[in-house]
A and B are shown apart, each in its own frame.
Chain A
Amino acid sequence: MMKIENLKADIGTKEILKGLDLTLEEGKVHAIMGPNGAGKSTLSKAIVGHYDVKITGGNIIYKGQSIVDMEPENRALKGIFLSFQNPVEIPGVNNAYFLRTALNAKRKHNGLAELNAAEFLRIMKGHLEGLGMKADMISRSLNEGFSGGEKKRNEILQMLILEPDVIILDEIDSGLDIDALRAVSEGINKMKDGKRSFLVITHYSRILDYIKPDYIHVLKNGRIIKTAGPELVAKLEAEGYESIEEEIR
């Protein structure tokens, strides 16, 4: 699905990703774990074409095509979705209107007819309940005044509606209480269809109890230093990231 090769990237003048390799397999859940400041968010930003990140070397191949020079909206239209660590607030922009615009942009891109407001609302209603979102959340301004948990649910709502092919979840679990965590995880699990790939970025193992990963990758100092099966979670939990580094040395 996606192949990241020897990726080097700067933020400002500082090199953050220092030759990172990672392959996302079709239908698999990849968890990325690593300490604060390791470059996890930078990796997710590099994939979606965020303006903060300057790619200085390597490549990202998605569906057989390099995307490093592609506009962010085109990456999105091709099926890459990022649930932001800190979703931004946009005053006055109606949440439902925004969602419908995004969905229709995608439908148009895929040669489908655009949905009118009624058709769209029907689709959205189904998802709201599952996520435990109040109906008024969609008539409010996009993320404005939302609590941390509401923002994360709203990210998941967007994911459910846009039905992307590669789903990157940057710390989707941070700041969530147990009910929210369960609702959000259920939403994510609904998207598993054997084809979509997931990149779950976290530094707690908690969410991995709900979203079962196929692979665990440890990111430290701008590189993936270890890839293993889900059994690695317990070891990381017990011994920390240092142990992995020592093991490699």
Chain B
Amino acid sequence: MSQKEIDKAVAGEYKLGFQVDIETDTVPPGLDEDTIRFISNKKNEPEWMRELRLKAFRKWQTMEEPHWAHIHYEPIDYQAISYYSAPKNPPKSLDEVDPKILEAYAKLGIPLEEQKQLQGIAVDAVFDSVSVKTTYTDELNKLGIIFCSISEAIHEHPALIKKYMFSVVAMNDNYFAALNSAVFTDGTFVYIPKGVRCPMELSTYFRINALGTGQFERTLIIADEGSYVSYNEGCSAPMRDENQLHAAVVELIAMKDAQIKYSTIQNWYPGDENGKGGIYNFVTKRGLCQGENSKISWTQVETGSAITWKYPSCILKGDNSVGEFYSVAVTTLAQQADTGTKMIHLGKNTSSTIISKGISAMKGQNTYRGLVKIGAHADGSRNYSECDSLLIGDQCGAHTFPYLECKDTKGHIEHEATTSKISDEQLFYLRQRGIKEEDAVSMIVHGFCKEVFSQLPMEYAVEAKALLNLTLEGSVG
């Protein structure tokens, strides 16, 4: 099989690249304090929120864009971005949601109409800068679960927001987090009360539609003592020649005996094979295992974006708390991903697991960057890390940067890393048994990702597998 044939197979067509024509309320490009006030006013925010945004903005102005990651891109002109775009006439009920938006979500496989809603999955649909619809809220309310847009939470649950927003990711944590803190437009808020096991998957679907805008969403999930929640996010964007910035912040807090399972299927537009267009995905995700025996699991399947810069992390503060990171990152075309995790062990007997699978094809560059830190008081803590890279073809690259810091001499860190190629021999073996070359590639890749996919909730595992096939479609002739 020739490299060209492999490449063709690897670079599946982006199937979610459509754009819908709707009337929007879009602020002109540019960023200054007035922009912040404009956003805050649009959202009818209380004074305290506006002040927090302005504070974040002033901090951001003193900061510098970081360049330590193994990625290369043209400088971002922050004044050329529009920081707010919303469908005109924000809907008060589903009947008022622009049918074109409903249609757009239906096309993405996410019906929002009452009678068609996905079984067992509550969805918050975020379209450009605003949440257009959250489903199943009544059922969840009965259990005391709050599942709403972050804008609504600022109005309805100010005490929780004031207490927890910026508590895990400080507003000046890093350049992109600071920018987000200043201009975030919407996102999801979840609160699970004590002892409640959330009976359905909670899910947010982010869609960038408008041209020349950035998306800056913010998600905050609080799992109170003894509660459990499984939350999923998905995303996509139209195909465009210019790059669009996506800088999100996600904060998770798990109290004593609580568990949060956070799964991401990231499918932003990746750009073309020459690196033209695509989303710049600079994301800060961090979870705090605040209480004893708490657990936070991050599972991510990253197939999209021109650039991915993200390190979903866990701060294991409570004794016996557990952090997990399961990741599949695929870079094809000219995509670049620098992703990984940080596991910060502070409590006693904390444990963490890192399973990272990087797949590179065509001119894709895939970097794993991970930090495992075992603090001086984290007696008996342990980490297991496994970072595997799979190369398809010889123009792509895989890089691994594990950083280990162990202040507690009794801590235990185990790290394994492998790099392999889909060998012609493996492909041939499967073909000799009558399996088409394309199916053979997909079988090998799925085998490689198995440990991660098995962590996803069932419905999403199916989606992730299909997405991987699409991304790698044509990788063989």
Q: B444 is contacted by which of A82, A93, A102, A105 (Cβ under 8 Å)?
A: A93
A92 in contact with B433 (CB, 8 Å) = no
Q: Evaluate whether A101 and B439 lie within 8 angstroms (CB atoms) in the complex, with A77-B434, A106-B434 already known.
A: yes
* A98 CB-CB contact with B under 8 Å: yes
Give which listed residue, A76, A91, A101, contacts B432 with CB less than 8 A: A76
Closest to A87 in B: B429
Q: Are A71 and B447 in contact (CB under 8 A)?
A: no
What residues of B have a CB within 8 angstroms of the CB of A142 in the complex? 447
User: What residues on B are CB-neighbors of A57 within 8 Å?
Assistant: none
CA distance A50 to B431 in the complex (A): 10
Inter-subunit contact B436/A105 (CB<8 Å): yes
Chain B nearest Cβ from A22, distance in angstroms: 20
CA distance A81 to B449 in the complex (A): 29
Within 8 A of B (CB), among A132-178: 141-142, 158, 162
Q: Are B424 and A51 in contact, with the CB atoms below 8 A? A: yes
Is residue B426 within 8 Å, beta carbon to beta carbon, of the partner chain?
yes
A57 to B450, CA, bound (A): 44
Contacts A90-B444, A101-B439; is A158 near B426 (CB within 8 Å)? Answer: no
A142 to B447, CA, bound (A): 10
Taking a contact as CB atoms under 8 Å apart, the answer to whether A76 and B433 are in contact is yes
Residues of A within 8 A of B451 (CB): 92
Bound complex: CA A158 to CA B434 (Å):
11
- The listed residue (B423, B429, B436, B450) touching A84 by CB distance below 8 A is B429
A28 CB to nearest chain B CB (Å): 22
Is B1 part of the binding interface, using a Cβ–Cβ cutoff of 8 Å?
A: yes
B251 interface residue (CB < 8 Å to A): no
Interface of chain B, main secondary structure: helix
Structural contact, B434 and A51, CB atoms closer than 8 A: no
**B379 to chain A: closest CB distance in Å?**
35
Is B18's CB within 8 Å of the partner chain A?
no
Kindly identify, within residues 65 to 88 of chain A, every residue whose CB is under 8 Å from any CB belonging to chain B: 71-73, 76-77, 81-82, 84, 87-88
- Residue in B443, B448, B449 whose CB lies within 8 Å of A98: B443
Q: Which residue of B lies closest to A86 (CB)?
A: B425
B358 to chain A, nearest CB (A): 15
User: Complex: how many Å from CA A94 to CA B443?
Assistant: 9
Asked if B257 is at the interface (CB within 8 A of a chain A CB), the reply is no
Residues 388-441 of B at the A interface (beta carbon under 8 Å):
423-426, 428-437, 439
Report the tally of A-B residue pairs with Cβ distances under 8 A.
71
- The docked-state distance in angstroms from the alpha carbon of A93 to that of B431 is 14
Per the 8 Å Cβ criterion, residues 332-347 of B in contact with A are: none
Residue A33 at the chain B interface, CB threshold 8 Å: no
Given A50-B428, A72-B428, CB of A92 within 8 Å of CB of B434: no
B446 within 8 Å of A (CB atoms): yes
Asked if A60 is at the interface (CB within 8 A of a chain B CB), the reply is: no
- A102 with B435: CB separation less than 8 A: yes
Residues of B within 8 A of A50 (CB): 428
Name A88's contact: one of B426, B434, B439, B449 (CB within 8 Å).
B426
Chain A residues contacting B432 (CB-CB under 8 Å) are 48, 72-73, 76, 81-82, 84
With A51-B424, A73-B437, A101-B443 already in contact, the answer to whether A92 and B450 are too (CB < 8 A) is: yes
Q: Which residues of A contact B434 (CB under 8 A)?
A: 73, 76-77, 102, 105-106, 109, 162
Most buried by A among B423, B430, B444: B430
Contacts of B437 in A (CB 8 A): 71, 73
A102 cross-chain contacts in B, Cβ below 8 A = 430, 433-435
Closest Cβ–Cβ distance, residue A164 to chain B (whole Å): 9
Q: Which residues of A sit under 8 angstroms from B431, Cβ to Cβ?
A: 71-73, 76
Tell whether, in the assembled complex, residue B447 and residue A92 are in contact, meaning their CB atoms are under 8 Å apart: yes
CB-nearest residue of chain B relative to A97? B443
CB distance from B450 to the nearest CB of A (A): 4
Nearest CB in chain A: distance from B17 CB, A? 31
List the A residue with the shortest CB-CB distance to B443: A93
* Contact A90 B426, beta carbon cutoff 8 Å: yes
Report A-chain residues with C-beta under 8 Å of the C-beta of B448.
91-92
A101 CA to B432 CA, complexed, in Å? 13
Alpha-carbon distance A52/B352, docked complex (angstroms): 45
Q: Which residues of A contact B447 (CB under 8 A)?
A: 90-94, 141-142
- CB-CB under 8 A from A82, the residues of chain B are 432
From B423, B433, B443, A158 is in contact (CB under 8 Å) with B433
On whether the beta carbons of A88 and B423 are closer than 8 Å, the reply is yes
Q: Which residues from 201 to 246 on chain A have a C-beta closer than 8 Å to any C-beta of chain B?
A: none
Who on chain B is nearest to A84 by CB?
B429
Q: A102-B433, A102-B434 are in contact. Are A51 and B1 (CB under 8 A)?
A: yes
Query: Hey, which chain B residues are within 8 Å of A101, CB to CB?
Result: 435, 439, 443
Contacts of A88 in B (CB 8 A): 423, 425-426, 429
Question: Within 8 Å CB of B433, what residues of A?
Answer: 76, 98, 102, 105, 158, 162
Cα(A144)–Cα(B146), bound, Å: 47
Chain B residue contacts of A106, Cβ below 8 A: 434
Q: A144 vs B424: C-alpha distance in the bound complex, in angstroms?
A: 17
Question: Which of A's residues lie within 8 Å of B, judged by CB?
Answer: 48, 50-51, 71-73, 76-77, 81-82, 84, 87-88, 90-94, 98, 101-102, 105-106, 109, 141-142, 158, 162
- Could you pull out 30 A-B pairs where Cβ atoms are within 8 angstroms? A51-B1, A72-B428, A72-B431, A72-B432, A73-B434, A76-B433, A76-B434, A82-B432, A84-B429, A87-B429, A90-B426, A90-B429, A90-B430, A91-B447, A91-B448, A92-B446, A93-B444, A93-B446, A98-B433, A101-B435, A101-B439, A101-B443, A102-B430, A102-B435, A105-B434, A105-B439, A106-B434, A141-B447, A162-B433, A162-B434
Interface positions of B (Cβ within 8 A of A) = 1, 423-426, 428-437, 439, 443-444, 446-451
Among all A-B residue pairs, the 8 with the closest Cβ atoms: A92-B447, A93-B447, A102-B433, A76-B434, A92-B450, A72-B431, A105-B434, A73-B431
In the complex, besides A51-B424, A76-B431, A92-B451, 16 extra interface pairs with C-beta distance below 8 angstroms are: A50-B428, A72-B432, A73-B431, A73-B434, A73-B436, A73-B437, A77-B434, A81-B432, A84-B432, A90-B429, A90-B444, A101-B435, A105-B433, A141-B447, A142-B447, A158-B433
